[in-house]
Chains A and B, each alone.
Chain A
Protein backbone atom coordinates (compact mmCIF):
# COMPACT_ATOMS: atom_id res chain seq x y z
CA UNK A 1 0.00 0.00 0.00
CA UNK A 2 1.24 3.45 -0.91
CA UNK A 3 0.00 6.51 0.93
CA UNK A 4 1.04 10.05 0.00
CA UNK A 5 0.73 12.93 2.45
CA UNK A 6 0.42 16.38 0.94
CA UNK A 7 -1.09 19.82 1.49
CA UNK A 8 -1.83 22.90 -0.52
CA UNK A 9 -0.28 25.17 2.04
CA UNK A 10 3.19 24.70 3.45
CA UNK A 11 3.76 24.21 7.16
CA UNK A 12 0.43 22.54 7.88
CA UNK A 13 2.06 19.46 9.38
CA UNK A 14 2.77 17.07 6.51
CA UNK A 15 6.00 15.88 8.07
CA UNK A 16 4.46 15.57 11.54
CA UNK A 17 1.63 13.42 10.16
CA UNK A 18 3.87 11.42 7.81
CA UNK A 19 6.41 10.50 10.46
CA UNK A 20 3.75 9.68 13.06
CA UNK A 21 1.98 7.51 10.51
CA UNK A 22 5.20 5.72 9.57
CA UNK A 23 6.00 5.12 13.24
CA UNK A 24 2.63 3.53 13.90
CA UNK A 25 2.99 0.97 11.08
CA UNK A 26 4.44 -2.51 11.44
CA UNK A 27 6.30 -2.71 8.16
CA UNK A 28 6.82 0.85 6.95
CA UNK A 29 8.98 2.60 4.42
CA UNK A 30 9.12 6.37 4.72
CA UNK A 31 10.17 8.31 1.61
CA UNK A 32 10.76 12.06 1.91
CA UNK A 33 9.82 13.42 -1.52
CA UNK A 34 9.99 17.05 -0.42
CA UNK A 35 13.48 17.18 -1.91
CA UNK A 36 13.64 20.99 -1.85
CA UNK A 37 13.25 21.17 1.91
CA UNK A 38 13.16 17.66 3.37
CA UNK A 39 12.53 17.61 7.12
CA UNK A 40 11.51 14.05 8.01
CA UNK A 41 15.07 13.10 9.00
CA UNK A 42 15.07 15.80 11.69
CA UNK A 43 12.40 13.87 13.59
CA UNK A 44 12.98 10.25 12.61
CA UNK A 45 16.76 10.66 13.09
CA UNK A 46 17.64 7.77 10.79
CA UNK A 47 20.98 6.06 10.61
CA UNK A 48 22.02 6.72 7.03
CA UNK A 49 23.61 3.67 5.46
CA UNK A 50 24.07 4.90 1.91
CA UNK A 51 24.28 8.27 0.21
CA UNK A 52 23.92 8.06 -3.55
CA UNK A 53 24.57 11.09 -5.76
CA UNK A 54 21.63 11.78 -8.01
CA UNK A 55 22.56 12.84 -11.53
CA UNK A 56 20.80 13.88 -14.69
CA UNK A 57 22.25 13.73 -18.19
CA UNK A 58 23.46 16.93 -19.85
CA UNK A 59 25.17 17.44 -23.20
CA UNK A 60 28.90 17.78 -23.61
CA UNK A 61 30.18 19.11 -26.90
CA UNK A 62 33.40 18.11 -28.57
CA UNK A 63 34.18 21.23 -30.57
CA UNK A 64 36.98 19.47 -32.45
CA UNK A 65 34.47 17.44 -34.41
CA UNK A 66 31.32 19.57 -34.03
CA UNK A 67 30.28 20.97 -37.42
CA UNK A 68 28.26 23.79 -35.81
CA UNK A 69 25.25 22.78 -37.87
CA UNK A 70 22.91 24.14 -35.18
CA UNK A 71 20.56 21.14 -35.13
CA UNK A 72 20.97 20.66 -31.37
CA UNK A 73 20.07 24.27 -30.65
CA UNK A 74 17.04 24.05 -32.94
CA UNK A 75 15.87 20.90 -31.17
CA UNK A 76 16.30 22.31 -27.65
CA UNK A 77 12.91 23.56 -26.45
CA UNK A 78 14.50 25.18 -23.39
CA UNK A 79 17.04 27.31 -25.28
CA UNK A 80 19.90 25.75 -23.34
CA UNK A 81 22.14 25.51 -26.43
CA UNK A 82 23.41 28.30 -28.65
CA UNK A 83 25.45 27.54 -31.75
CA UNK A 84 27.51 30.15 -33.56
CA UNK A 85 28.79 29.13 -36.98
CA UNK A 86 31.55 30.76 -39.07
CA UNK A 87 33.67 32.61 -38.14
CA UNK A 88 33.15 32.15 -34.38
CA UNK A 89 32.55 28.39 -34.39
CA UNK A 90 31.25 27.95 -30.94
CA UNK A 91 28.55 25.84 -29.27
CA UNK A 92 27.52 27.14 -25.88
CA UNK A 93 25.57 25.20 -23.27
CA UNK A 94 23.66 26.78 -20.37
CA UNK A 95 23.20 23.95 -17.94
CA UNK A 96 20.72 25.75 -15.66
CA UNK A 97 18.23 25.78 -18.56
CA UNK A 98 18.67 22.10 -19.46
CA UNK A 99 15.87 19.62 -18.65
CA UNK A 100 17.86 16.49 -19.60
CA UNK A 101 15.37 15.49 -22.28
CA UNK A 102 18.01 14.11 -24.66
CA UNK A 103 16.70 15.86 -27.79
CA UNK A 104 20.09 17.43 -28.61
CA UNK A 105 21.91 14.10 -28.52
CA UNK A 106 19.16 12.49 -30.58
CA UNK A 107 19.42 14.99 -33.43
CA UNK A 108 23.21 15.47 -33.51
CA UNK A 109 24.35 14.09 -36.89
CA UNK A 110 28.04 13.75 -36.03
CA UNK A 111 28.92 10.79 -33.89
CA UNK A 112 30.73 11.84 -30.75
CA UNK A 113 30.25 15.57 -31.29
CA UNK A 114 27.57 15.76 -28.62
CA UNK A 115 27.52 13.14 -25.92
CA UNK A 116 25.49 13.08 -22.72
CA UNK A 117 27.30 13.08 -19.40
CA UNK A 118 25.90 12.86 -15.87
CA UNK A 119 25.64 16.06 -13.84
CA UNK A 120 24.99 16.02 -10.10
CA UNK A 121 21.63 17.55 -9.18
CA UNK A 122 21.17 16.21 -5.69
CA UNK A 123 21.48 13.09 -3.61
CA UNK A 124 19.48 10.21 -2.22
CA UNK A 125 19.99 8.98 1.32
CA UNK A 126 18.92 5.55 2.46
CA UNK A 127 18.90 4.24 6.00
CA UNK A 128 16.91 2.98 8.95
CA UNK A 129 15.06 4.76 11.72
CA UNK A 130 14.23 2.01 14.20
CA UNK A 131 11.77 -0.25 12.40
CA UNK A 132 11.22 2.29 9.61
CA UNK A 133 13.02 1.99 6.29
CA UNK A 134 14.06 5.52 5.49
CA UNK A 135 14.67 7.16 2.09
CA UNK A 136 15.06 10.85 1.33
CA UNK A 137 15.76 12.96 -1.73
CA UNK A 138 17.78 16.13 -1.37
CA UNK A 139 17.93 18.61 -4.25
CA UNK A 140 21.17 20.60 -4.47
CA UNK A 141 20.71 24.30 -3.75
CA UNK A 142 20.37 26.26 -7.00
CA UNK A 143 18.81 23.41 -9.00
CA UNK A 144 15.44 24.29 -10.47
CA UNK A 145 13.39 21.13 -10.30
CA UNK A 146 13.10 18.04 -8.15
CA UNK A 147 10.52 16.34 -10.36
CA UNK A 148 12.85 13.77 -11.94
CA UNK A 149 14.55 13.15 -8.60
CA UNK A 150 11.16 12.27 -7.11
CA UNK A 151 10.39 10.03 -10.10
CA UNK A 152 13.67 8.21 -9.44
CA UNK A 153 12.90 7.81 -5.72
CA UNK A 154 9.62 6.16 -6.60
CA UNK A 155 10.93 4.04 -9.47
CA UNK A 156 14.12 2.77 -7.90
CA UNK A 157 13.75 2.97 -4.13
CA UNK A 158 10.11 2.26 -3.37
CA UNK A 159 9.72 -1.15 -1.73
CA UNK A 160 6.44 -2.81 -2.71
CA UNK A 161 6.63 -5.28 0.17
CA UNK A 162 6.25 -2.39 2.65
CA UNK A 163 3.55 0.08 3.52
CA UNK A 164 5.02 3.13 1.84
CA UNK A 165 4.55 6.63 3.24
CA UNK A 166 5.39 9.35 0.72
CA UNK A 167 5.97 12.74 2.36
CA UNK A 168 5.15 15.21 -0.43
CA UNK A 169 6.19 18.81 -1.11
CA UNK A 170 3.46 21.43 -0.56
CA UNK A 171 1.43 23.07 -3.30
CA UNK A 172 -0.21 21.68 -6.41
CA UNK A 173 2.48 21.90 -9.07
CA UNK A 174 4.61 19.32 -10.90
CA UNK A 175 6.60 17.99 -7.92
CA UNK A 176 3.37 17.20 -6.06
CA UNK A 177 1.86 15.54 -9.12
CA UNK A 178 4.95 13.35 -9.45
CA UNK A 179 4.77 12.35 -5.77
CA UNK A 180 1.09 11.44 -5.60
CA UNK A 181 0.78 9.90 -9.07
CA UNK A 182 -0.20 6.23 -8.80
CA UNK A 183 -0.54 5.99 -5.01
CA UNK A 184 -3.41 4.09 -3.38
CA UNK A 185 -4.47 6.93 -1.12
CA UNK A 186 -3.70 10.62 -0.59
CA UNK A 187 -3.97 12.32 2.78
CA UNK A 188 -4.48 16.07 2.55
CA UNK A 189 -3.29 17.80 5.70
CA UNK A 190 -5.11 21.05 6.37
CA UNK A 191 -5.21 23.58 9.15
CA UNK A 192 -8.43 25.39 10.05
CA UNK A 193 -7.51 28.89 8.85
CA UNK A 194 -8.72 30.83 5.80
CA UNK A 195 -5.28 30.22 4.22
CA UNK A 196 -5.49 26.53 5.02
CA UNK A 197 -8.97 26.25 3.54
CA UNK A 198 -8.13 28.19 0.38
CA UNK A 199 -5.11 25.99 -0.32
CA UNK A 200 -6.96 22.80 0.61
CA UNK A 201 -9.52 23.53 -2.10
CA UNK A 202 -6.72 23.68 -4.69
CA UNK A 203 -5.36 20.32 -3.48
CA UNK A 204 -8.83 18.78 -3.69
CA UNK A 205 -9.16 20.03 -7.26
CA UNK A 206 -5.83 18.38 -8.09
CA UNK A 207 -6.48 14.97 -6.52
CA UNK A 208 -9.94 14.84 -8.09
CA UNK A 209 -8.46 15.69 -11.49
CA UNK A 210 -6.02 12.84 -11.04
CA UNK A 211 -8.79 10.47 -10.00
CA UNK A 212 -7.17 9.59 -6.68
CA UNK A 213 -8.75 8.26 -3.52
CA UNK A 214 -8.27 10.77 -0.71
CA UNK A 215 -9.21 12.06 2.73
CA UNK A 216 -8.37 14.93 5.06
CA UNK A 217 -6.47 15.11 8.32
CA UNK A 218 -7.08 18.34 10.20
CA UNK A 219 -4.01 19.54 12.04
CA UNK A 220 -4.12 22.10 14.86
CA UNK A 221 -7.77 21.23 15.30
CA UNK A 222 -9.84 23.32 17.69
CA UNK A 223 -13.29 22.25 18.80
CA UNK A 224 -14.99 25.56 18.05
CA UNK A 225 -13.50 25.96 14.58
CA UNK A 226 -15.54 24.34 11.83
CA UNK A 227 -13.82 25.90 8.83
CA UNK A 228 -12.47 22.63 7.40
CA UNK A 229 -15.29 20.49 8.81
CA UNK A 230 -18.00 22.44 7.00
CA UNK A 231 -16.16 22.34 3.71
CA UNK A 232 -15.42 18.61 4.01
CA UNK A 233 -19.05 17.85 4.76
CA UNK A 234 -20.27 19.95 1.90
CA UNK A 235 -17.90 18.16 -0.50
CA UNK A 236 -18.44 14.72 1.09
CA UNK A 237 -14.74 14.28 1.81
CA UNK A 238 -13.93 12.02 4.77
CA UNK A 239 -12.03 13.53 7.68
CA UNK A 240 -9.76 10.72 8.85
CA UNK A 241 -8.42 12.33 11.96
CA UNK A 242 -8.16 15.57 13.91
CA UNK A 243 -4.80 16.24 15.52
CA UNK A 244 -5.56 18.75 18.25
CA UNK A 245 -3.87 22.10 18.54
CA UNK A 246 -1.51 21.54 21.42
CA UNK A 247 1.40 23.48 22.82
CA UNK A 248 2.83 20.06 23.71
CA UNK A 249 3.26 19.05 20.10
CA UNK A 250 4.51 22.52 19.12
CA UNK A 251 7.11 22.44 21.91
CA UNK A 252 8.37 18.95 21.16
CA UNK A 253 8.42 19.76 17.44
CA UNK A 254 10.58 22.80 18.15
CA UNK A 255 13.01 20.53 19.98
CA UNK A 256 13.19 18.07 17.11
CA UNK A 257 11.17 15.35 18.81
CA UNK A 258 7.59 14.26 18.25
CA UNK A 259 5.35 12.32 20.65
CA UNK A 260 5.28 9.23 18.41
CA UNK A 261 4.34 6.74 21.09
CA UNK A 262 1.47 8.83 22.44
CA UNK A 263 -0.30 9.01 19.07
CA UNK A 264 0.58 5.54 17.84
CA UNK A 265 -2.85 4.04 18.37
CA UNK A 266 -4.62 7.01 16.83
CA UNK A 267 -2.61 6.58 13.66
CA UNK A 268 -3.21 2.85 13.60
CA UNK A 269 -6.85 3.86 13.48
CA UNK A 270 -6.17 6.15 10.54
CA UNK A 271 -4.50 3.29 8.63
CA UNK A 272 -7.50 1.06 9.31
CA UNK A 273 -9.84 3.67 7.85
CA UNK A 274 -7.65 4.00 4.76
CA UNK A 275 -7.57 0.23 4.27
CA UNK A 276 -11.35 0.18 4.36
CA UNK A 277 -11.51 2.86 1.72
CA UNK A 278 -9.22 1.31 -0.89
Chain B
Protein backbone atom coordinates (compact mmCIF):
# COMPACT_ATOMS: atom_id res chain seq x y z
CA UNK B 1 0.00 0.00 0.00
CA UNK B 2 1.51 3.32 -1.00
CA UNK B 3 1.95 6.07 1.54
CA UNK B 4 -0.02 9.26 1.33
CA UNK B 5 1.42 12.67 2.18
CA UNK B 6 -1.14 15.48 2.34
CA UNK B 7 -0.47 19.24 2.30
CA UNK B 8 -3.20 21.50 3.69
CA UNK B 9 -3.32 24.89 5.40
CA UNK B 10 -6.65 25.80 6.96
CA UNK B 11 -6.23 29.37 5.79
CA UNK B 12 -5.99 29.92 2.06
CA UNK B 13 -3.03 31.50 0.35
CA UNK B 14 -0.38 30.47 2.87
CA UNK B 15 1.70 28.67 0.26
CA UNK B 16 0.26 25.16 -0.09
CA UNK B 17 0.89 24.94 -3.79
CA UNK B 18 4.35 26.54 -3.42
CA UNK B 19 5.32 23.75 -1.05
CA UNK B 20 3.49 20.94 -2.85
CA UNK B 21 4.98 21.80 -6.23
CA UNK B 22 8.43 22.04 -4.66
CA UNK B 23 7.98 18.67 -2.97
CA UNK B 24 6.76 17.28 -6.29
CA UNK B 25 10.03 18.47 -7.78
CA UNK B 26 12.26 16.66 -5.24
CA UNK B 27 10.18 13.63 -4.37
CA UNK B 28 10.77 10.50 -6.40
CA UNK B 29 8.38 7.68 -7.23
CA UNK B 30 5.07 9.31 -6.46
CA UNK B 31 1.72 10.19 -7.93
CA UNK B 32 0.57 13.78 -7.53
CA UNK B 33 -3.03 14.46 -6.56
CA UNK B 34 -4.53 17.94 -6.73
CA UNK B 35 -7.43 17.60 -4.32
CA UNK B 36 -8.35 21.28 -4.44
CA UNK B 37 -11.02 20.61 -7.05
CA UNK B 38 -12.65 23.93 -6.29
CA UNK B 39 -9.57 25.97 -7.26
CA UNK B 40 -7.01 23.59 -8.71
CA UNK B 41 -3.63 25.22 -9.27
CA UNK B 42 -1.05 22.45 -9.53
CA UNK B 43 -1.64 22.14 -13.27
CA UNK B 44 -0.33 25.67 -13.73
CA UNK B 45 3.17 24.78 -12.56
CA UNK B 46 3.36 21.18 -13.75
CA UNK B 47 2.30 21.54 -17.40
CA UNK B 48 0.34 18.28 -17.47
CA UNK B 49 -0.30 16.32 -20.66
CA UNK B 50 -3.84 14.99 -20.47
CA UNK B 51 -4.07 11.20 -20.77
CA UNK B 52 -7.54 10.45 -19.56
CA UNK B 53 -10.62 12.45 -18.68
CA UNK B 54 -13.91 11.44 -17.07
CA UNK B 55 -17.05 13.19 -16.00
CA UNK B 56 -17.97 13.12 -12.35
CA UNK B 57 -21.56 12.44 -11.46
CA UNK B 58 -22.93 14.53 -8.63
CA UNK B 59 -25.98 13.66 -6.56
CA UNK B 60 -29.20 13.68 -8.60
CA UNK B 61 -31.36 16.79 -8.41
CA UNK B 62 -35.13 17.04 -8.07
CA UNK B 63 -37.19 18.11 -11.08
CA UNK B 64 -40.88 19.03 -11.02
CA UNK B 65 -43.11 18.05 -13.94
CA UNK B 66 -45.42 21.06 -14.18
CA UNK B 67 -48.00 19.01 -16.06
CA UNK B 68 -48.43 16.68 -13.12
CA UNK B 69 -47.94 19.25 -10.34
CA UNK B 70 -51.15 20.06 -8.44
CA UNK B 71 -49.71 23.18 -6.74
CA UNK B 72 -50.31 21.76 -3.26
CA UNK B 73 -47.19 23.55 -1.95
CA UNK B 74 -46.20 20.54 0.18
CA UNK B 75 -42.73 20.19 -1.36
CA UNK B 76 -41.91 23.86 -0.87
CA UNK B 77 -43.00 23.69 2.77
CA UNK B 78 -41.01 20.53 3.47
CA UNK B 79 -37.76 21.49 1.74
CA UNK B 80 -35.21 22.57 4.32
CA UNK B 81 -32.76 23.79 1.70
CA UNK B 82 -35.01 26.51 0.31
CA UNK B 83 -34.65 24.90 -3.10
CA UNK B 84 -38.27 24.98 -4.27
CA UNK B 85 -39.75 28.17 -5.65
CA UNK B 86 -42.65 29.41 -7.72
CA UNK B 87 -41.90 31.21 -10.97
CA UNK B 88 -43.89 34.23 -12.22
CA UNK B 89 -46.20 31.90 -14.21
CA UNK B 90 -47.22 30.23 -10.96
CA UNK B 91 -45.29 27.04 -11.70
CA UNK B 92 -43.19 25.26 -9.10
CA UNK B 93 -39.53 24.66 -9.89
CA UNK B 94 -36.36 23.44 -8.19
CA UNK B 95 -33.27 25.61 -7.81
CA UNK B 96 -30.66 23.03 -8.77
CA UNK B 97 -27.85 24.76 -6.94
CA UNK B 98 -29.76 24.78 -3.66
CA UNK B 99 -31.18 21.25 -3.99
CA UNK B 100 -29.35 18.95 -1.56
CA UNK B 101 -30.61 15.75 -3.25
CA UNK B 102 -32.42 14.54 -0.13
CA UNK B 103 -35.44 13.38 -2.20
CA UNK B 104 -37.93 14.34 0.51
CA UNK B 105 -39.98 16.32 -2.02
CA UNK B 106 -40.14 13.32 -4.32
CA UNK B 107 -41.20 11.04 -1.47
CA UNK B 108 -43.86 13.45 -0.29
CA UNK B 109 -45.34 14.62 -3.61
CA UNK B 110 -48.95 13.33 -3.76
CA UNK B 111 -49.07 13.77 -7.55
CA UNK B 112 -45.82 11.93 -8.28
CA UNK B 113 -44.71 15.01 -10.16
CA UNK B 114 -41.14 14.97 -8.86
CA UNK B 115 -38.33 12.84 -10.20
CA UNK B 116 -34.59 12.88 -9.62
CA UNK B 117 -32.35 13.74 -12.56
CA UNK B 118 -28.70 12.81 -12.98
CA UNK B 119 -26.28 15.73 -13.12
CA UNK B 120 -22.57 16.05 -13.67
CA UNK B 121 -20.81 18.21 -11.13
CA UNK B 122 -17.25 18.07 -12.35
CA UNK B 123 -14.50 16.27 -14.25
CA UNK B 124 -11.40 14.43 -13.24
CA UNK B 125 -8.25 13.77 -15.18
CA UNK B 126 -5.12 11.67 -15.33
CA UNK B 127 -2.15 13.52 -16.75
CA UNK B 128 1.52 13.01 -17.41
CA UNK B 129 3.82 15.65 -15.91
CA UNK B 130 7.62 15.95 -15.84
CA UNK B 131 7.33 15.00 -12.14
CA UNK B 132 5.23 11.89 -12.56
CA UNK B 133 1.58 11.07 -13.03
CA UNK B 134 -0.99 13.51 -11.72
CA UNK B 135 -4.63 12.89 -10.89
CA UNK B 136 -6.58 16.13 -10.72
CA UNK B 137 -10.12 17.40 -10.96
CA UNK B 138 -12.32 20.34 -11.67
CA UNK B 139 -15.57 20.95 -9.86
CA UNK B 140 -18.04 22.93 -11.93
CA UNK B 141 -18.63 26.35 -10.39
CA UNK B 142 -21.47 26.26 -7.90
CA UNK B 143 -21.41 22.48 -7.59
CA UNK B 144 -21.48 20.60 -4.32
CA UNK B 145 -20.02 17.25 -3.45
CA UNK B 146 -16.39 18.26 -3.65
CA UNK B 147 -15.74 15.80 -0.80
CA UNK B 148 -16.88 12.91 -2.99
CA UNK B 149 -14.78 14.17 -5.88
CA UNK B 150 -11.72 14.31 -3.62
CA UNK B 151 -12.38 10.75 -2.43
CA UNK B 152 -12.70 9.72 -6.06
CA UNK B 153 -9.37 11.22 -7.24
CA UNK B 154 -7.53 9.87 -4.21
CA UNK B 155 -8.98 6.43 -4.81
CA UNK B 156 -7.90 6.60 -8.44
CA UNK B 157 -4.35 7.51 -7.38
CA UNK B 158 -4.26 4.50 -5.05
CA UNK B 159 -5.46 2.18 -7.81
CA UNK B 160 -2.71 3.40 -10.16
CA UNK B 161 -0.06 3.26 -7.46
CA UNK B 162 -0.98 -0.38 -6.76
CA UNK B 163 -0.90 -1.30 -10.44
CA UNK B 164 2.40 0.42 -11.11
CA UNK B 165 3.97 -0.16 -7.73
CA UNK B 166 4.47 3.52 -6.95
CA UNK B 167 5.29 3.98 -3.25
CA UNK B 168 4.08 7.54 -2.57
CA UNK B 169 1.08 9.76 -3.18
CA UNK B 170 1.50 13.52 -2.75
CA UNK B 171 -1.76 15.40 -2.23
CA UNK B 172 -2.39 19.15 -2.50
CA UNK B 173 -5.49 19.94 -0.43
CA UNK B 174 -8.01 22.75 -0.25
CA UNK B 175 -8.41 25.49 2.35
CA UNK B 176 -10.90 25.30 5.22
CA UNK B 177 -11.96 22.42 7.45
CA UNK B 178 -15.17 21.24 5.73
CA UNK B 179 -16.08 18.22 3.63
CA UNK B 180 -13.34 18.41 0.95
CA UNK B 181 -10.66 18.76 3.61
CA UNK B 182 -12.12 15.91 5.67
CA UNK B 183 -12.04 13.72 2.55
CA UNK B 184 -8.49 14.86 1.79
CA UNK B 185 -7.00 13.97 5.16
CA UNK B 186 -8.89 10.75 5.83
CA UNK B 187 -6.57 7.87 5.15
CA UNK B 188 -3.45 10.07 4.98
CA UNK B 189 -0.21 8.77 6.49
CA UNK B 190 1.01 12.24 7.34
CA UNK B 191 -0.41 15.75 7.01
CA UNK B 192 1.75 18.84 6.53
CA UNK B 193 0.01 22.06 7.51
CA UNK B 194 1.41 25.17 5.85
CA UNK B 195 0.94 28.16 8.11
CA UNK B 196 1.96 31.82 7.98
CA UNK B 197 3.09 34.07 10.86
CA UNK B 198 -0.16 36.02 11.20
CA UNK B 199 -3.01 35.84 13.72
CA UNK B 200 -5.18 34.30 11.00
CA UNK B 201 -2.48 31.72 10.23
CA UNK B 202 -2.29 30.65 13.87
CA UNK B 203 -6.06 30.74 14.39
CA UNK B 204 -6.68 28.51 11.38
CA UNK B 205 -3.79 26.17 12.25
CA UNK B 206 -5.40 25.47 15.63
CA UNK B 207 -8.64 24.41 13.95
CA UNK B 208 -6.93 22.29 11.32
CA UNK B 209 -4.83 20.58 14.01
CA UNK B 210 -7.98 19.62 15.91
CA UNK B 211 -9.43 18.27 12.69
CA UNK B 212 -6.34 16.09 12.12
CA UNK B 213 -6.57 14.86 15.72
CA UNK B 214 -10.22 13.96 15.40
CA UNK B 215 -9.36 11.86 12.34
CA UNK B 216 -6.32 10.40 14.14
CA UNK B 217 -3.89 11.59 11.47
CA UNK B 218 -0.37 12.65 12.45
CA UNK B 219 0.57 16.15 11.41
CA UNK B 220 3.45 18.60 11.21
CA UNK B 221 3.76 22.30 10.50
CA UNK B 222 5.77 24.42 8.06
CA UNK B 223 5.82 28.19 8.58
CA UNK B 224 5.96 29.97 5.25
CA UNK B 225 7.31 33.55 5.02
CA UNK B 226 8.46 33.00 8.60
CA UNK B 227 10.67 36.11 8.71
CA UNK B 228 7.74 38.48 8.14
CA UNK B 229 7.04 38.13 11.85
CA UNK B 230 9.48 35.98 13.81
CA UNK B 231 7.56 36.44 17.05
CA UNK B 232 4.41 34.96 15.49
CA UNK B 233 6.53 32.19 13.96
CA UNK B 234 7.75 31.27 17.44
CA UNK B 235 4.17 31.29 18.72
CA UNK B 236 3.13 28.93 15.93
CA UNK B 237 6.02 26.59 16.59
CA UNK B 238 5.37 26.63 20.33
CA UNK B 239 1.74 25.81 19.70
CA UNK B 240 2.81 22.94 17.46
CA UNK B 241 5.25 21.50 20.01
CA UNK B 242 2.71 21.76 22.81
CA UNK B 243 0.12 19.96 20.71
CA UNK B 244 2.47 17.17 19.65
CA UNK B 245 2.82 18.44 16.12
CA UNK B 246 6.12 18.03 14.33
CA UNK B 247 7.90 21.31 13.49
CA UNK B 248 9.13 20.52 9.98
CA UNK B 249 10.78 23.74 8.94
CA UNK B 250 10.53 27.36 7.90
CA UNK B 251 10.45 28.94 4.46
CA UNK B 252 11.70 32.56 4.27
CA UNK B 253 9.88 35.40 2.57
CA UNK B 254 11.59 35.78 -0.79
CA UNK B 255 10.39 37.99 -3.63
CA UNK B 256 11.80 35.32 -5.90
CA UNK B 257 8.74 33.12 -5.13
CA UNK B 258 5.95 35.27 -6.62
CA UNK B 259 8.29 36.03 -9.54
CA UNK B 260 8.89 32.31 -10.11
CA UNK B 261 5.15 31.63 -10.08
CA UNK B 262 4.45 34.47 -12.50
CA UNK B 263 7.05 32.86 -14.77
CA UNK B 264 5.39 29.47 -14.24
CA UNK B 265 8.43 28.03 -12.52
CA UNK B 266 8.34 25.81 -9.48
CA UNK B 267 9.73 27.85 -6.56
CA UNK B 268 12.14 25.02 -5.65
CA UNK B 269 13.68 25.21 -9.08
CA UNK B 270 13.89 28.99 -9.20
CA UNK B 271 14.68 30.11 -5.67
CA UNK B 272 17.75 29.10 -3.72
CA UNK B 273 16.13 30.00 -0.38
CA UNK B 274 13.16 27.74 -1.07
CA UNK B 275 15.40 24.92 -2.25
CA UNK B 276 17.38 24.97 0.99
CA UNK B 277 14.25 25.05 3.15
CA UNK B 278 12.38 22.39 1.20
CA UNK B 279 15.35 20.00 1.18
CA UNK B 280 15.25 20.04 4.98
CA UNK B 281 11.47 19.75 5.15
CA UNK B 282 11.55 16.88 2.67
CA UNK B 283 14.09 14.94 4.72
CA UNK B 284 11.99 15.36 7.88
CA UNK B 285 8.75 14.45 6.15
CA UNK B 286 10.23 11.27 4.68
CA UNK B 287 11.25 10.15 8.17
CA UNK B 288 7.64 10.55 9.27
CA UNK B 289 6.09 8.68 6.35
CA distance A106 to B107 in the complex (A): 9
Query: What are 26 A-B interface contacts by the 8 Å CB criterion?
Result: A9-B12, A11-B11, A11-B12, A12-B13, A36-B177, A36-B207, A37-B177, A39-B11, A42-B199, A42-B200, A78-B102, A99-B100, A101-B81, A102-B78, A106-B108, A145-B178, A174-B142, A177-B97, A177-B98, A195-B41, A202-B141, A203-B141, A251-B228, A254-B197, A254-B232, A255-B199
Tell me if A15 is interfacial: C-beta within 8 Å of chain B: yes
Q: Given A37-B11, A177-B142, A209-B141, do A199 and B41 touch, yes or no (CB 8 Å)?
A: yes
Chain B residues lying within 8 Å of A148, measured Cβ to Cβ, are 80-81
Contact A206 B179, beta carbon cutoff 8 Å: no
Give the shortest distance, in Å, between B259 (CB) and chain A (any CB). Answer: 10
Known contacts A170-B175, A175-B178, A195-B17; can you find 17 more A-B pairs with CB under 8 A? A36-B175, A37-B175, A37-B203, A42-B199, A42-B200, A77-B59, A78-B102, A106-B78, A139-B178, A142-B177, A170-B12, A172-B141, A195-B261, A203-B141, A205-B141, A206-B141, A210-B97
Contact A202 B102, beta carbon cutoff 8 Å: no
**Interface 0/1 of B159-200, CB less than 8 Å to A:** 000000000000000111111101000000000000011111
Chain A binder among B86-94, B143-151, B240-248, B278-286: B143-151
CA distance A39 to B179 in the complex (A): 19
Give the shortest distance, in Å, between B243 (CB) and chain A (any CB). Answer: 13
Tell me if A269 is interfacial: C-beta within 8 Å of chain B: no
Give the shortest distance, in Å, between A188 (CB) and chain B (any CB). Answer: 12
Interface residues of B (CB under 8 A from A): 9-14, 17, 38-39, 41, 44, 59, 78, 80-82, 97-98, 100-104, 107-108, 139, 141-144, 146-147, 174-180, 182, 196-200, 203-204, 207, 210-211, 214, 228-229, 232, 258, 261-262, 264
Tell me if A213 is interfacial: C-beta within 8 Å of chain B: no
Q: Which residue of B lies closest to A206 (CB)?
A: B141
Contact A171 B174, beta carbon cutoff 8 Å: yes
Q: Which residue of A lies closest to B122 (CB)?
A: A173
Chain B residues lying within 8 Å of A78, measured Cβ to Cβ, are 102
**Interface 0/1 of A105-123, CB less than 8 Å to B:** 0110000000000000000
Contact A194 B182, beta carbon cutoff 8 Å: no
Contact A225 B262, beta carbon cutoff 8 Å: yes
Q: Given A146-B178, A254-B229, do A210 and B142 touch, yes or no (CB 8 Å)?
A: yes
**Top 7 A-B pairs, shortest CB-CB distance:** A10-B12, A11-B13, A101-B102, A206-B141, A36-B176, A171-B38, A10-B175
Give the shortest distance, in Å, between A79 (CB) and chain B (any CB). Answer: 12
Most buried by B among A43, A142, A148, A227: A142
Contact of A195 (CB < 8 Å), options: B14, B44, B207: B44
Chain B residues lying within 8 Å of A100, measured Cβ to Cβ, are 80
Tell me if A231 is interfacial: C-beta within 8 Å of chain B: no
Interface residues of A (CB under 8 A from B): 8-12, 15, 36-37, 39, 42-43, 75, 77-78, 99-103, 106-107, 139, 141-146, 148, 151, 169-177, 181, 191, 193-195, 198-199, 202-203, 205-206, 209-210, 225, 227, 250-251, 253-256
Chain A residues lying within 8 Å of B207, measured Cβ to Cβ, are 36-37, 141
Contact of B142 (CB < 8 Å), options: A36, A145, A206, A255: A206
Most buried by B among A141, A151, A225: A141
Contact A10 B200, beta carbon cutoff 8 Å: no
Chain B residues lying within 8 Å of A143, measured Cβ to Cβ, are 178
CA distance A36 to B175 in the complex (A): 9
Contact B182 A144, beta carbon cutoff 8 Å: yes
Contact of A107 (CB < 8 Å), options: B39, B107, B144, B203: B107
Q: Given A39-B204, A103-B102, A253-B198, do A194 and B13 touch, yes or no (CB 8 Å)?
A: no
Contact B211 A141, beta carbon cutoff 8 Å: yes
Q: Which residue of B lies closest to A174 (CB)?
A: B144
Q: Which residue of B lies closest to A144 (CB)?
A: B179
Give the shortest distance, in Å, between B143 (CB) and chain A (any CB). Answer: 6
Contact A254 B198, beta carbon cutoff 8 Å: yes
Contact B143 A173, beta carbon cutoff 8 Å: yes
Contact A39 B203, beta carbon cutoff 8 Å: yes
Contact A170 B39, beta carbon cutoff 8 Å: yes
Chain A residues lying within 8 Å of B142, measured Cβ to Cβ, are 172-174, 176-177, 206, 209-210
CA distance A58 to B139 in the complex (A): 29
Give the shortest distance, in Å, between B288 (CB) and chain A (any CB). Answer: 23
